[in-house]
Amino acid sequence: MTATRTEAGSDTAFSTRLRERTREGHAGAEHSGYMSALTSGQLPLEGYAALAAQQHAVYAVLEEAGDAMRADPVAGLFVADELRRLGALEADLAFLLGPRWREAATPTAATRDYCDRLREVCFDWPAGFVAHHYTRYLGDLSGGQIIGSLVARTYSLDEDGVRFYRFEGIPKPKAFKDRYRALLDAAPWDAQEQERVIDEVLVAYDHNTRMLASLDDVARALLQR
């Protein structure tokens, strides 16, 4: 395996610094009113479908970028088919909203802004693609598993409706995440590029937080019924 790259004058691996420097941004997404209502079981199933619709819009762009980045010598190493979520999301939305789900799965303005940012940086900046790839997929394999379990239990779902959270091709998430972080540590980015990646991960977390906050109105409307 390629030797771990660290910042000049630092003994801390890049993946560790990345996690530590972006910890607060990650925590911000966990405290939206929508997520609190969802994970406490206050929302009807259509409230959960609203989240799946936003995720579908985001992953459609991110996975299109992944296809474009496959040939890149650095970013292409992160593109793993077992991570792909778009097919699972489409199956979930068909179950939650019916066969005409595309007509009902409407992205919010915040989600459209998020998608615009993905299109801006993920197709011609390999490290920017990795920043967004890391934010979404390692989040899916970490806190996302907790959310998935809560949603499945709350709404009595087994497979249908929560396929997004099931990574059938990754039986050992921790081992996969360890290999992923090793790729981050081995990436040939100098200190300046590493800082740009950290900044872009913070941008990604901000977009994710605003996307979830944009569903607060959905939650309020459903709770007032």
Residue pLDDT, tens place only, 53-63: 999 999 999 99
Q: Report the pLDDT value the prediction gives residue 45, as an integer from 0 to 100.
A: 92
The helix (run of H) or strand (run of E) holding residue 208 is helix 191-213
Digit-coded pLDDT (tens) for 113-155: 999 999 999 999 999 999 999 999 999 999 999 999 999 999 9
Q: For residue 22, how far is the Cα from the chain centroid?
A: 14
Mean pLDDT of the chain: 92
For the chain, the straight-line distance linking the first and the last C-alpha, in angstroms and rounded, comes to 57
Report the alpha-carbon distance of residue 69 to residue 132 in Å, rounded: 13
Please state, in angstroms and rounded to a whole number, the distance separating the CA atoms of residues 6 and 216: 40
Residues 6+ apart with CB under 8 A from 211: 54, 58, 108, 110, 111, 114
The CATH superfamily holding the domain 31-223 is Heme oxygenase-like (1.20.910.10)
Average pLDDT over residues 203-211: 96
φ/ψ region of 25 (left if φ > 0, alpha if ψ in -120 to 50, else beta) reads alpha
